[in-house]
Structure 1
Amino acid sequence: MLAESGATLVAIYRAHLFSPANLAVLSFVVAFTLLAVAIGWRSRVLSPLALRNSAASLATLAVNILMAPVVYVVAGLAGAGYGRLGIPSIPESAWDGVPWLVMAVVGVLGKDFADYWSHRALHTPLGWPVHAVHHSDTHVNGFTAFRIHLLEVVTMKVFYIALLTWLGIPAGAIVAAYVVASLHTAYVHLELDIDHGPLNWLVASPRFHRWHHADVPEAYGKNLANMIPIWDLMFGTYHRHDRCDAPMGALREGVPDTDAAKLVTLPFTLWWRQGKAALARRWPRRGPAA
């Protein structure tokens, strides 16, 4: 039994790690890294802090790639559980004849809506220890998009299953939505003061998202939309989008920025602290009797 389980796990790893999708992600990361280093070298913005933060982001991504089969298995279990609920869904055949571009737009809107609510959940006390890894970068740039804890990837997958499965959108349109969202995510994390003017409410800019990473109380839990800020306007989490010169990261909460090993274990460290604090409030220590 144990041997069969081990063989199954090895098979999953081989199939997933060397799948076209995973190899495409790896190719994109390599190309993005080379381009970013070339541009950074020419513009002389590769400070020691930027390099250490970027290295930690890439190390976090490497862990996620190695652990990707785990996400695959968890997503499969979540999908199976969702299927057993018997929730009505639009059959994929209903999309026959619908222009591909329309399906792609629906896919982008649906994915971004799910991303908004998963992002909002990650900014709650229970979710923050996971999302704090992404916010730990004190030198936000394109590599910050790769700094996502494995548990955050799992959380996002569960939200996609719960909020998007019923749409029945063909896989091709969903893949297109993922590609657009991935490119935009890298874009909004760039260390550039770019604003979209009258289109700020429609398409998130680097300036809009930089406020989300600002380590100032007024910006906490604000500008949660990944691509479409209208969600923030609708649900009360929109923040200003003027130039942001505030410090980045979460150092004031004791979150490390360049230690990749600590970032991998950070959710468990912060949950442990939360648990101890909750116990201390529930059963405070009493001083010696007078």
Structure 2
Amino acid sequence: MNLVQNIVLVAIILFFALLEVGSRKHRHFHATADDTKLELFMFLSLLAFSQPFIFAVTGKLCALLMPAQRDAWAHLPWWAMGAILLVADDMTQYWWHRVSHSPLLWPLHRAHHTAHYMSIRVTYRNNFFYYLMMPGLWASGVLIYLGFGNVYLVYIVVKLTVILGAHSAVPWDAPLYRIKWLHPLAWVLERTVSTPATHWAHHALTNDDGIGHYKGNFGNLLFVWDLLFGTAKITRRYPAKVGLQDDLVFGKERWFVEMFYPLFHSRRAHSALVPGGRAYAEAEVDSDASTHAPQALAGKP
């Protein structure tokens, strides 16, 4: 199953990559060597280690603790399996994402927001331990043991397509807002799944422009969770800049610190990636900008 899933995943990624290259959006990334290393190594680690490890462990534990339940739910109709996956995987990921914006877990998710560009390459940009601790992956492993294997393959293809599209440098939803007769379709889609407009707002550099909403729009596949739990903001516009303010002021973190914290700690002044450190609020960053501007220009931790 992992082989088929990985082949499909690579095919979807190639499709969106060709869109970014064909539109020449990739020329505006100005990614650093650290950006590329973080994104590449996180993608490979998730694909080759984290997900297979979680599925292997859940399979072994289920076989040990409830051997008679193997494929016990395989008789369920596909739509029932899909609904269960949406709750067990996608809704729990919404909450995992949401609590990852709290001071305690922010260091494990911060890397996802340090990219100063939107692209499919940002999709899996996170701390190594972020995915190992993700409840939805562990729940999915149990459901696969219970007989959801084939339906999970279809589900994950749909989910990956949506989240890659939401991070893509090509805002595929823009025509829906420009063309009047497509507005009803836009209304439905933006309230159902994550789109570039709603998800780019979550990555915005600032909330001051009325577009940014980095304390909301947490949904991955379904945007319904944001509507249901009161964290949705829909503007049909795209933020001018994405990333983190404190990186502009204090310089970016090294890729291995972002990926492997707490095994590695930041050497930067004012960092969430040190024991007892915390994220800087936007107002605090603004007040410190003049003091630390030379360090920010140097771009060094």
What TM-score does the superposition give when structure 2 sets the normalisation length?
Answer: 0.66
Segments of structure 1 that go 5 or more residues without pairing to the other structure are 1-15, 278-290
- SS of 1:124's partner is coil
Measured in 1, the distance between the counterparts of 2:133 and 2:115 equals 20
Measured in 2, the distance between the counterparts of 1:211 and 1:201 equals 15
The CA deviation string for residues 215-238 of structure 1, in whole angstroms up to 9 with x for no partner, is 225623200111212211221211
Quickly say closer, same or farther: Cα 1:108–1:65, change in 2 above 3 A: same
- Note if contact 1:225-1:231 (Cα within 8 Å) is conserved in structure 2: yes
Pairing 1:117–2:95 present: yes
Structure 1 position 170, deviation (Å)? 1.6
Quickly say closer, same or farther: Cα 1:257–1:84, change in 2 above 3 A: farther
Segments of structure 2 that go 5 or more residues without pairing to the other structure are 178-185, 279-301
Larger Rg, first or second structure (1 or 2): 1
Partner of 1:223: 217
- Note if contact 1:111-1:164 (Cα within 8 Å) is conserved in structure 2: no
Cα RMSD for the two superposed structures: 3.9
What TM-score does the superposition give when structure 1 sets the normalisation length?
Answer: 0.68
Partner of 2:40: 61
Runs of 4 or more, structure 1, over 4 Å off, are 74-86, 253-259, 265-268
Partner of 1:264: 259
- Note if contact 2:43-2:125 (Cα within 8 Å) is conserved in structure 1: no
Measured in 1, the distance between the counterparts of 2:190 and 2:83 equals 18
Question: Which of 15, 35, 40 is the equivalent residue of 2:18?
Answer: 35
Aligned length: 252
Structure 1 position 211, deviation (Å)? 0.9
Pairing 1:173–2:151 present: yes
Partner of 1:239: 233
Structure 1 position 249, deviation (Å)? 0.6
Higher helix share: 1
Structure 1 position 132, deviation (Å)? 0.9
The CA deviation string for residues 68-127 of structure 1, in whole angstroms up to 9 with x for no partner, is 3355445644666688888xx98743441x443553454345421121122112111121
After TM superposition, the structure 1 = structure 2 runs for residues 149-228 of structure 1, keeping only pairs within 5 Å, are: 149-156=127-134, 158-162=135-139, 165=142, 168-191=146-169, 192=171, 194=173, 196-217=186-207, 219-228=213-222
